[in-house]
Chain A
Amino acid sequence: MGEVTVKAPAWRILKAIANDKVTIAFLMVAVLFVVGEIVVPGFISFSHVMTVLQAAFFLGLMSLGQTIVVISGKEGLDLSVGSSMTVGVLLGAALIRGQDLNLIQAVAAVLVAGFLVGLVNGLGVAYLEIAPLIMTLSWGIVVEGAMLFITRGHYPGKASPLLEKIGQGSLSIELGPVLLQIPWVVIIWILIITAVQVMLSRTSVGYVLYGVGANDRAAELLGIRTRRVRIIAYGVSGMLSALSGILLLGYVQNPDIALSGRYVLLCVIAVIIGGISFGGGGGSYLGAVAGAIFLQTLLSILVTLQIKDGLRQMITGLVLLMLLFAYTRRTRR
């Protein structure tokens, strides 16, 4: 930063890119798609990209909740997202029972249940001041345990035709001779991304959230009830995970308690790829979107290469460690 020399615009643009984590995240996705194309020809065809995006949606929706919690600060993190998702899957299936008629009530009930699950996290973190990671981890286990004894291994009900259509179906657009099929969830995702971007950067909701995350004390002096904001952040996270769960039910049709297991670690990594700092108060959802797509693409490549489950987990762990090294390192003597 010291010297003030005139540099070519190209260099400046490059520097701007290198400093913007969201751009880096999307570049990483692009690189990974190219790698995928080299490994498996046809990887970057329109239909396959849409398939990857469709599968990434469920992780992406969870990552939105995670993003909000992380932005809210105080080393916020929600590891109970898997349990909230399971609530969405199991409660959703039990209420829908394969009937379109029950869909709206089921979605409403699932949203409320997810919000309540998240609310407990918020109360523990904000009022009892239990470290978020521990609070959400143990509460997640409790919720998972409760689900186990309530269902006793039997998961009644299933998705309804309409929910399946949303989860699996796609919108067909004819452009002359080519027929483009865009999955409904991808369209929903684009709408959500737009709404969230507007809300976080243009409305008071965003200002309050970023303010509380960036400087808790200052926000409190301005009259913001920081604890309440944080509690709601956790509540919303639970709600979004539950919503992701009921939509996942539409994608896979039949409920299972183990569906959400792999999402928790991935959700955390997605947020880190997106460059959202754990200090809070910074970052945007777009980064987490890139993170979710990156992880789903990576998973897709690993599955095509028939990499075993254990090795896959090792690779995801290594990716997380490398990202932490790249983004949060501050070498001490």
Chain B
Amino acid sequence: MGSARGGSTFFRSLGRSTTFPALLILAVLLTANMVLQPRFFSVRGFNMNLMMFTPLILASMAQGVIVISGSIDMSLGSAISMFTIFTSYFMTDSNVGWMLAAGFVLIFATTGLLNGVAIGKFGLPAFITTYATSAIYLGLAKYILPQAGGYVPESFYKVYRIGLRGVPFPLLVLLLAFLIYWGMSRTAVFRFIYAIGSNEEGAYASGIKVARIRVLAHLFAAVFLCLACLCVLMTVASGDWRNGQEYTLNSVATVVIGGIALTGGKGTILGAIFGALILGLLNNIIFYSQLSSYYQIFVKGMIVLTSLSFAAIPLLMRKRHAVL
């Protein structure tokens, strides 16, 4: 099983680590970005990238928790679209806080509770169920606001750009997300999420309430998704059903790049974050190479597809070893 191969234990454990390939690609991409993007390491450049990457990082954390639990959320992007439309449609200068709260409740009720209960409690197949709910969320969004529009007060959304008391706002959100994740990862529920992801029957046999944990996994993920929604809303500052579309597939791709197996139970949220950074840097390269907009969809799709294929290689190699 490949145990007799040479090399120090350090390198062997690196080779086995699920996040190592992601780190390697990340290093290469950072170099490419430094070459292409002027002022990559300046404060301004750092802020720019931070603003661009944060929503995807948060969405990937959400997808990561769900995928680790052995489920998946194909409605994530539509939920983001629904959030931006719902909040911006009802928002006025005076009710920003209330509307955000209402939006968060909506996210918890839909992607958290509805998806979670359907998949966890009733055992519906995750892929296709969230595909169905995705149509419902997107339909609701389009029904409220068929064309792009809505209103987001400038005093609210410009905070994302200028920051709070000199601290970049995305950085604050990310810190909050990491804190929440740190807190979550210390709970028993989080260990159970890994358990039901890697071996559901076994987890059930050892007394874990599988249905409840799966619903909780979706609710945990909804926390990160809410933060992602907030960042997307502040970035685009309007309601549009296209706002979140790319996040569904991108979050799945980042999770896979980051070494989280789609079969569940394997990988870390940290890997998902690396994956998001990789995809963000790749998109940066496209952005700074000033590609015609006609090519963008094609190239972005190719990037997702290629990264999915690359992520499959270690898995296949391991399988070959297992057979031999």
Contacts and interface: CB of A to CB of B under 8 A. Distances in A.
- The answer to whether A binds B is yes
A317 B136 contact: yes
Nearest to B315: A129
Contact of A134 (B134, B141, B252): B252
B304 A268 contact: no
B131 interface: yes
B15 interface: no
Interface in A314-332: 314-318, 320-321, 324-325, 328-332
Interface string B127-161: 11101111110111111101000000000000000
A135 B139 contact: no
Contact of A130 (B120, B140, B308): B308
B123 A332 contact: yes
B122 A331 contact: yes
B34 interface: no
Contacts of B296: 145
A77 B142 CA distance: 26
Given A142-B301, A329-B123, A317 B309 contact: no
Nearest to A141: B301
The size class of the interface chain B forms with chain A is 35 or more
B127 A75 contact: yes
Contacts of A318: 132, 136
Contacts of B316: 128-129
A239 to B, nearest CB: 21
A145 B262 contact: no
B295 A149 contact: yes
Contact of B312 (A130, A265, A308, A312): A130
Interface in A214-249: none
A128 B300 CA distance: 20
Contacts of A333: 209-211
A318 B316 CA distance: 38
A135 B292 CA distance: 25
Contact of A329 (B124, B143, B300, B315): B124
A63 to B, nearest CB: 15
Contact of A325 (B124, B135, B140): B124
Interface string A141-153: 1101110110010
B315 A328 contact: no
A310 B240 CA distance: 13
Contact of B122 (A75, A138, A317, A329): A329
Among B118, B144, B308, which residue has the most Cβ atoms of chain A within 10 A?
B308
A317 B132 contact: yes
Interface residues of A, number: 46
Contacts of B295: 145, 149
Contacts of B256: 134
Nearest to B309: A128
Nearest to B292: A149
Contact of B140 (A77, A139, A310): A310
Interface string B6-38: 000000000000000000000000000000000
Nearest to A333: B211
Contacts of A139: 301, 305
A139 B143 CA distance: 29
Contacts of B312: 128-130
B77 to A, nearest CB: 11
Contacts of B129: 321, 324
Nearest to B297: A145
B298 interface: yes
Nearest to A318: B136
A50 interface: no
B121 interface: yes
Contacts of A135: 305, 308
Interface in B228-284: 249, 252-253, 256, 262
A148 B295 CA distance: 8
Interface in B109-124: 118, 120-124
B299 interface: yes
A317 B146 contact: no
Nearest to B123: A330
B151 to A, nearest CB: 19
A170 interface: no
A144 B124 CA distance: 30
A313 B128 contact: no
B302 interface: yes
B223 interface: no
Contacts of A152: 294
B62 interface: no
A124 B309 CA distance: 8
A144 B296 CA distance: 11
Nearest to A311: B143
A138 B304 contact: yes
B272 to A, nearest CB: 15
A130 B309 contact: yes
Q: Which residue, of A77, A139, A318, A332, has the highest number of chain B Cβ atoms within 10 A?
A: A332
A317 B125 CA distance: 15
A278 interface: yes
Contacts of B211: 332-333
5 nearest interchain CB pairs?
A145-B298, A310-B143, A317-B135, A310-B142, A314-B139
Interface of A: 75, 77, 124, 128-131, 133-135, 137-139, 141-142, 144-146, 148-149, 152, 265, 268, 272, 278, 308-318, 320-321, 324-325, 328-333
16 contacts: A75-B125, A124-B308, A130-B309, A133-B128, A134-B253, A135-B308, A145-B298, A145-B301, A278-B125, A309-B146, A310-B138, A311-B139, A317-B135, A320-B128, A325-B124, A332-B122
Interface of B: 74, 118, 120-125, 127-129, 131-136, 138-144, 146, 209-211, 249, 252-253, 256, 262, 292, 294-302, 304-305, 308-309, 312, 315-316
Given A313-B135, A313-B139, 14 more contacts: A124-B305, A124-B309, A129-B312, A133-B74, A133-B128, A138-B253, A145-B297, A149-B294, A265-B135, A268-B131, A317-B133, A317-B139, A324-B118, A325-B118
